[in-house]
Amino acid sequence: MPQVDTPYLAGLDLRDRRVVVVGGGTVAQRRLPTLLDVGALVELVSPEATPAVEGMAQAGELRWHQRRYADGDLADAWYVLALTDDVEVNAAIVAEATRRRIFCVRADDGTAGTASTPASAEWHGLRIAVASGQIARRPPSDGGHDPLRAASVRDGVLTWLRSGAGERLLDQPGSRSRSRTTVPGVALVGGGPGDPELITVRGRRLLGQADVVVADRLGPRSLLDELGPDVEIIDATKLPRGRFMAQEAINACLVENARAGKFVVRLKGGDPYVFGRGSEEVEACVAAGVPVTVVPGLSSAIAVPALAGIPLTHRGVAHEAVVVSGHLAPGHPESMVDWTALARLSGTIVILMGVQNLGDIAAVLSEHGRAADTPVAVIQDGSMPAEKVTVGTLETIAEVAAQADVRPPAIIVIGGVVGQLTPHLP
């Protein structure tokens, strides 16, 4: 029988049990949150700690013995982590733990401890763990104790699961966790500015559980292709001065499908509550007695300028950022934007849905005090492969944007921060 050096994976219930962590550096900073999340009674032994670890102690999340390790510190512990950068101290910790029959992780030499921390993650209530190790008769090239390799495999599995494949796996006949058995109701999911990788983890998970998806053109459209063939997709697109699905019809669609026993995801661009009319959809669901939840998303007002290299605030340039809707021109009787007051601000103005009224907006801001040479950027199709950034000033931007054939959807950024524009990161 071959000698094995592969760890036996087991789940530890550490809730309300004493766990001793020796060392307060960056390794501890990474390991402590998980221990705290599972309810362990953590005691830290270390003369120093990173600011984040010190903050955990100050918040009462753990007990900090601000000194060096001493023999006897592990008494009555259920689990021990030796995380110092001193080889001799770590060896002494393992020795004491072994005498006391306490499993001990040694961070600087995984093979010298009596336990190891696998690369792990959580998905749908399941804990996925990948541990490295090897059978002694196999050559070292097989991988051996390689935590980076284990983490890479863990990340690959998670990527596959979150891509939609995992949701389809849950839907297989015989699965006791079929996603289609989710409680009927509605989830308003903010999909971010458009890039499918910018949706939140929770948003993507709920999308994979949907029976019905009500989507528009501003959300991460490519994710729809990952849905199963049994998922009904309803187009709720609203085109500027063109075809649209009335908001009342969208509200009714959400309610009717939920009442029919389906789990409905309303996939929206950006964040549901930032010019997304999400509150109206929530009100409709609440009035109808339909369970509803909101999953925030990255607002294009913040994310798109950032992706284009424009910070909304910058030390010495802008200490304020205001987000407004430009779908109604200045002076329109239904407009609720005080353009005169905005013109007096020195910070950043971010305008959504303002392409059609760009000339009027620039003119009124200049008329009421904003300098004509104030930098302006218009970012079309932000976060998407066709993204286009057009730069000018309040005086020139309308003409420059027209020459560049700028079209919605686009984000307008006005202020000195546009001068901080940096090249796209690779």
| Catalytic residue ranges | 216, 238
410 with 355: CB under 8 angstroms? yes
Of 77, 66, 56, the residue nearest 23 (C-alpha): 66
Please report which helix (H) or strand (E) contains residue 379, including its range. strand 375-380
Residue 327, amino acid = H
Residue 302 in tokens = 């913040």
Contacts of 218 (CB under 8 A, 6+ apart): 191, 194, 268, 269, 270, 300, 409
Q: Please say whether the dihedral angle defined by the alpha carbons of residues 383, 387, 392 and 398, taken in this order, is positive or negative.
A: negative
Residue 47 in tokens = 């003369």
Tell me how far apart the alpha carbons of residues 347 and 414 are, in angstroms, rounded to a whole number: 8
426 with 413: CB under 8 angstroms? no
Structure letter (DSSP) for residue 270: B
194 with 219: CB under 8 angstroms? yes
Tell me how far apart the alpha carbons of residues 248 and 129 are, in angstroms, rounded to a whole number: 46
Residue 99 in tokens = 């005498």
Give me the helices (H) in 210-356, please.
Answer: 247-259, 278-287, 300-307, 339-343
3-state secondary structure of 378: strand
Tell me how far apart the alpha carbons of residues 177 and 123 are, in angstroms, rounded to a whole number: 12
Cα-Cα-Cα-Cα dihedral of 261, 263, 268, 272, to 10°?
Answer: 90
